[in-house]
Amino acid sequence: MTVTPTRAETTATTATGNGTSVDPDDVTIAYIGGGSRQWAPNLIQDLAQSPLDGEVRLYDTHHESAEQNARFGNWVQDQEGATADWQYEATETLEATLTGADVVIISTQYDPAETFVHDLDIPKEYGIYGAVAATIGPGGIFRAMRTIPQYREFAAAIREYCPDAWVFNYTNPVHFVTRALYDEYPGINALGLCHEVLGTRHRLARYAREELDMDAERSDVSVNVKGINHFTWVDEARCKGVDLWPVLEDLVESEHAHQEFTWDDLAEESVFTDNWQVTWELFRRFDVLPAAGDRHLIEYATWFMQGGQEGLNRWGVKRTGSDYRAKHWTPAESDQTTDVEAWLSGEKEFELTESNETFVDILLALAGEDTYVTNVNLPNVGQVEDLQSDAVVETNALIRAGEVRPVSAGGFPRPVRSLIRGHIDTIETVIEASRDGDLDAAFEGFLIDQQIRTLQTEDARELFAKLVVAEEEYLEDWDLEGSSVLAESEAYTSA
């Protein structure tokens, strides 16, 4: 489906890249992280209902999971409603997976019980109550430090085996990871994708229905979006050409936008429930609308993290606890993983559904079947005029046959620009440190993070060292032995 650009989107910057030509009747997709328990099964169902045909090679360090998804993919082809022709195969090496691929999907995850739980629990000892801990802050930075070296290897392999392929990165932290891909292989054609802006468009469609009595859905809403992943902003929004800004200006003064919550109010709510109270408050203060979930926004706009759990709850944000993350890794206990094994065995009834993600739409546009506009993460070549060049930013892009063209989105009010620039400095500092595994240089990025600035420098050092101790086996590409920061730390030297 084509999305019409808003006025601010009509001036495009230089194209980011021109990748391999995509033949809609014969697409070769290489999926790194193909043992995924949620995204891969969703992708398989989307592809089965698409006008595209081809093969998918699934690669995962947990080969058995990739094999199961391959069986599932081939099984789905025989289900009612499957109209496309796809073949799935589990592969055992990056070379076999990537050679000649038209498209590469990257979606990986380390065992949360060994990593993510520490990202949440250890900072909490220092009064840092991250709601997600996956994108920025101490947890997001350590997730990046675990992930970046691996993604440099992926970028090098793509350069060798399929240098012109289109690369779709779904792994968090999206801005760190996508930046690492380009830092390792500047000629890569990589897009960082995230559905937070899609959620904002969905919410705006709801307001168009409720406040303007319009027949509206997400695809009818166009926004001018800009920022960095999970800290994106909108300064223009339309539904079928109708300006939605007056609606937002009315709503921000309503009771709807001035709610307060307690733990009891949120006890039965999912951690993914978005009450939009942080969004409304930031809109009131800065006159631009945040376009990510509140649980992500608070980790960048750190005022809302003050006061611990009670402070978060007051704004309608429910913290994702480490117990939840550990359960998410166990399919039997998780509400986020798909039940492939039960479907294949017949234990659970299967019904073909769509994920509402944008991958198929983007791929169709690259194949020349349509022109499509959606939000993507790309290096800044001018699409955001007052942020650092080459930093990965999130804006809309115009996608058509063999081309992804980021669109000019303008700049920011000074206060918002200041916030974003600070986070970019953290990201860029860690990326530079990762080039030779300089842990002390990475600590500099850690130290200037806006969540860490609430601590004394010695406490920041001890927090950093405790996270290193807890996750040391995942940080083998970093120079721990040569680190003066760790040598000064009681947490590390006494471990």
| Cα–Cα distance measured from residue 92 to residue 64, given in angstroms and rounded to the nearest whole number | 10
Residue written as tokens 């080459």? Answer: 390
Predicted confidence pLDDT, tens digits, the chain (495 residues) = 334 444 444 444 444 556 677 999 999 999 999 999 889 999 999 999 999 999 999 999 999 999 999 999 999 999 999 999 999 999 999 999 999 999 999 999 888 788 889 999 999 999 999 888 889 999 999 999 999 999 999 999 999 999 999 999 999 999 999 999 999 999 999 999 999 999 999 999 999 999 999 999 999 999 999 999 999 999 999 999 999 999 999 999 999 999 999 999 999 999 899 999 999 999 999 999 999 999 999 999 999 999 888 999 999 999 887 676 666 555 544 455 678 999 999 999 999 999 989 999 999 999 999 899 999 999 999 999 999 999 999 999 999 999 999 999 999 999 999 999 999 999 999 999 999 999 999 999 999 999 999 899 999 999 999 999 999 999 999 999 999 999 999 999 998
- Cα angle, residue 130 at apex, residues 124 and 136 outer, rounded to 5°: 120
- With the CA atoms of 192, 194, 197 and 198 taken in that order, what torsion angle do they form, in degrees rounded to the nearest 10? 120
- Cα angle, residue 277 at apex, residues 271 and 278 outer, rounded to 5°: 85
* 256 among known catalytic residues: no
* Assigned domain for 338 exists: no
* CA of residue 184 relative to chain centroid, distance: 20
173: cis peptide before it, omega within 30°? yes
Looking up residue 434, the CATH number of its domain turns out to be 3.90.1820.10
* Assigned domain for 13 exists: no
Residue written as tokens 């303008």? Answer: 410
Q: What is the largest CA-CA distance in the chain?
A: 65
DSSP string, 374-428: EEEEEE-SSSBTTS-TTSEEEEEEEEETTEEEEB--B---HHHHHHHHHHHHHHH
β-bridge mates for residue 105, sequence order: 31, 168
| Cα–Cα distance measured from residue 390 to residue 456, given in angstroms and rounded to the nearest whole number | 32
Return the structure tokens found at 430: 């860690």
Return the structure tokens found at 169: 């990165």
* Assigned domain for 48 exists: no
| Cα–Cα distance measured from residue 395 to residue 416, given in angstroms and rounded to the nearest whole number | 16
* Assigned domain for 284 exists: yes
Task: Report pLDDT for 495.
Answer: 82
**Nearest CA-CA partner of 102 in 28, 170, 157, 155:** 28
Strands 189-192 and 289-290, by their bridges, are unpaired
Return the structure tokens found at 63: 């080969």
| Cα–Cα distance measured from residue 317 to residue 273, given in angstroms and rounded to the nearest whole number | 8
The residues, any chain, with a CB within 8 Å of residue 27's CB and separated by 6 or more, are: 52, 53, 54, 55, 102, 103, 363, 367
The residues, any chain, with a CB within 8 Å of residue 210's CB and separated by 6 or more, are: none
| Cα–Cα distance measured from residue 2 to residue 154, given in angstroms and rounded to the nearest whole number | 32
DSSP 8-state code for residue 437: T
Task: Report pLDDT for 18.
Answer: 63
* Assigned domain for 176 exists: no
Determine the structural domain holding residue 472 and report its residue range: 1-8+110-134+193-320+357-486
Structural domains of the chain, count: 1
Number of C-beta neighbours around residue 153 at 10 A: 12
* Assigned domain for 59 exists: no
**Nearest CA-CA partner of 154 in 28, 19, 33, 22:** 33
Task: Report pLDDT for 301.
Answer: 96
* CA of residue 45 relative to chain centroid, distance: 21
| Cα–Cα distance measured from residue 77 to residue 71, given in angstroms and rounded to the nearest whole number | 10
Task: Report pLDDT for 20.
Answer: 73
Return the structure tokens found at 186: 């500047």
Burial of 434 by CB count in 10 Å (0-12 exposed, 13-18 middle, 19+ buried)? buried
Task: Report pLDDT for 432.
Answer: 98
Answer whether 455's CB lies under 8 Å from 442's CB: no
Residue among 195, 202, 230, 256 flagged as catalytic: 195
* Assigned domain for 95 exists: no
- How large is the angle between the packed helices 174-184 and 414-434, nearest 10 degrees? 50
Please give the C-alpha separations between residue 73 and each of 87, 230, 242, 319, 382, in angstroms, as whole numbers.
7, 31, 42, 35, 40
Length of the chain: 495
DSSP 8-state code for residue 17: B
**Nearest CA-CA partner of 102 in 47, 37, 54, 139:** 54
* Assigned domain for 55 exists: no
3-class DSSP state of 106: strand
Task: Report pLDDT for 13.
Answer: 43
